[in-house]
Amino acid sequence: MAEINIRSPYFVSSTYHIQAHYAVLGLSIQDERVTPEAPVYTLRSECVDNVSTFEISELVKDYLDVTFDGNYTSQVVFITYIIKVYDVNGDFINTFPANSPFITAFDGYGYFEDGANPQNDSALMMSNTTLYNLDGEDCVLPISNRLTDYIEFYDGTTLVNTITISSSTSGSKQIEYLAVDVSISGDYESRVLIDGGIVESLGCVSSEFPDINKFDKAIIYDLLGESITVNVENISECKHTPHKITFINKFGALQDLWFFKKSNLSLSTKKEEYKANIFNGGSYSVNSHQKRILRKQGTEKLTLNSGFVNEEYNEVFRQLMLSEKVWINYDSKTLPINISSSSFNYKTSLNDRLINYAIKVDFAFDKINNIR
């Protein structure tokens, strides 16, 4: 079944007919795969070489607005369409397709090199197969419900868990977010608390008391029996405060990216001023503001460093830079941010040896609450 990645054009065409003069497209867009409702768009297009072509991604985009509040949920829409073809006299000729299928629309895209109507056909809905995860935090894998059969989780060569994906037509299931506890048997803190002990706030305690049966590899099997192996490196950071960014990747899925190293918070302000009349009774007070501020507002910014990653993360950071929606977990809140860095250089181990990415982000709101 075809998919629509709505950030790239998606073209549908009528079938060739020698008498075709124009065609009318009826497009239905719904949250679930139920009996199609009346079309939300009706478009007419003149035939070129007896065929009419419509681009529908831009229309579907109005109905899919991906949000994130810290909970990972599948967000897609389903479309159906009918193209009716008419001759020069306005007489009906035929309909295409004969039975309109449901097409799933994701907030994804393809690259120019992918050609027209790009498809992201992969059981794993992200491009990288190495994950750097903060030790003790859940590792979230975005999985295609339509293409995935089951997933095996390993600690080294030991199988520790298997999850089978049940096929679903629900919009809330098209992207399966597997939030897997990287410590299958419980981390050091949990084991101490269960035994009635007290845990000191020591950032590096886990390096002294490693977890048991820690998940470090997942093998994702698709419905054709082919597999993708994802390796997880669980990282303990003792010096800096790690930050987790979540963004919409090219598959239209939410993807996490950890920044483990140095971060800097800054504030920039802007203001509107006016000059006041402080003259009063032949004199004025030297304590009064002649230049006064009418409005003043500020925006906070962060500079983040990823820590050392492999070359595969060139693609991850490319998709981050191209993402229209990004969030950060900051002070235990999920907050919207925008990537303010407008360019970055792809890095290689040959040229750069150790690869660290630094990016600048703006919090996507004014610091002083002005929502009215």
Residues 252 and 369 both lie in one domain? yes
Residues 95 and 125 both lie in one domain? no
Give the model's pLDDT for residue 181. Answer: 62
CATH code for the domain of 29: 2.60.40
pLDDT band at 214; cut points 50, 70, 90: low
Give the model confidence (pLDDT) of 286-301 as tens digits: 999 999 999 999 999 9
As for how many domains the chain has, the answer is: 3
CATH code for the domain of 160: 2.60.40.10
Residues 60 and 153 both lie in one domain? no
Residues 181 and 297 both lie in one domain? no
**CA proximity to 304, closest of 256, 255, 341, 346:** 341
Note whether 28 and 39 are within 8 A (CB).
yes
Last residue of a domain, one of 238, 255, 281: 238
For residue 40, give both structure tokens: 């939300």
Helix (H, G, I), strand (E, B) or coil at 76: coil
Strand partners, 274: 292
> How, if at all, do strands 243-248 and 227-235 pair?
unpaired
Residues 108 and 192 both lie in one domain? no
Query: What is the mean pLDDT of the segment spanning 88-101?
Result: 89
Note whether 357 and 346 are within 8 A (CB).
no
Residues 95 and 188 both lie in one domain? no
Give the model confidence (pLDDT) of 308-344 as tens digits: 888 889 999 999 999 999 999 999 999 999 999 877 7
Last residue of a domain, one of 60, 81, 114: 114
Q: Measure CA 170 to chain center.
A: 20
Percent of the chain surpassing pLDDT 90: 69
* Other CB atoms within 10 A of residue 230 CB: 19
For residue 165, give both structure tokens: 């994906």
Give the model confidence (pLDDT) of 103-134 as tens digits: 999 999 999 999 988 888 899 999 999 999 99
CATH code for the domain of 344: 2.40.30
The domain containing residue 274 runs over which residues? 241-372
The answer to whether the peptide bond before residue 101 is cis (omega within 30 degrees of 0) is no
Residues 104 and 225 both lie in one domain? no
Note whether 58 and 27 are within 8 A (CB).
no
Percent of the chain surpassing pLDDT 70: 91
Residues 100 and 226 both lie in one domain? no
Alpha helical stretches, state H, the chain? 57-60, 188-194, 205-208, 313-322, 349-352
Last residue of a domain, one of 221, 238, 255: 238
pTM of the model as a whole: 0.86
Residues 150 and 271 both lie in one domain? no
Give the model confidence (pLDDT) of 71-86 as tens digits: 999 999 999 999 999 9
Give the model's pLDDT for residue 277. Answer: 93
